Amino acid sequence: MNRSFWVYGALLVAIQGLGACGNNPVEEPADIAVTAETGASDKLVVAFGDSLYAGYQLAPNEGLAPQLQAALIADGIKARVHNAGASGDTTAAGKNRLAFVLDNLDRKPDLVVLGLGGNDMLRGIKPEQTRANLEAMLAELKRRQIPVVLTGMLSAPNLGADYARAFNPLYPELAARYGAKLYPFFLEGVVMDRSLMLNDNIHPNAKGVTRIVEGLSPLVEGALKEQ
């Protein structure tokens, strides 16, 4: 993970001026379900995050939710993955819309895959605020008795050692506190490979999402099988 950390940080330095990860006003609303119909499904998974989840600049079947859904089905798990990714979302924005998304589903989800915090880091939001917002979301999901897979993010080195010491432990510490499964770095194995990234060098392309799903899907499958 160390190599991913430094390459990721170097890329973020170059695009720090963007201000928010993947702000794309033409994308579909965040609470639109995956368009691919799978028929009756035994499991409902909600992918709740920012542009890395939303499928920024990707075709409808290329984003995280549809590719994760396809991987689960290929492994014999009848699942529907609901795309609740919103480009530009900070943890504060995610906290504010979480209950709305959950309350407007057709049923209680079997699992939420939660990934926010990248935009907080890009904007230099204080890690204690990011922690508080993530904790509020995890507490709400625990209150609703919805299991969680938490996908982590890493601080860019240009933000300094103090910021990294406060930001990077958020995900493992909160996962342990709330009993969530942890995928430590969402872009692990992807961000250092330009062939797996879009031209902005921060969002994965379709092949990059496939690589992410290869790493993430076993964790998701394990969480679903525990129920």
CATH number of residue 207's parent domain: 3.40.50.1110
- State whether the Cα torsion 133-137-142-147 is positive or negative: negative
Verify whether residue 203 is a known catalytic residue.
Answer: yes
pLDDT at 16: 42
Catalytic residue among 4, 50, 110, 203: 203
Assign 179 to helix, strand or coil: coil
Within 13 Å of residue 27, how many CA atoms lie on the same side as its CB? 26
Task: Show the low-confidence residues of the chain (pLDDT under 70).
Answer: 1-40
Q: Beta-strand (E) ranges in 101-209?
A: 111-115, 148-151, 181-183
For the chain, what is the domain count?
1
pLDDT at 168: 97
- Rounded Cα distance, 135 and 132, in Å: 5
Which residue do the tokens 């230099």 mark?
A: 124
pLDDT at 40: 60
pLDDT at 201: 87
Catalytic residue among 51, 87, 155, 217: 51
Domain around 28 = 2-225
Q: Beta-strand (E) ranges in the chain?
A: 43-49, 79-85, 111-115, 148-151, 181-183
pTM here is 0.87
Verify whether residue 51 is a known catalytic residue.
Answer: yes
Verify whether residue 162 is a known catalytic residue.
Answer: no
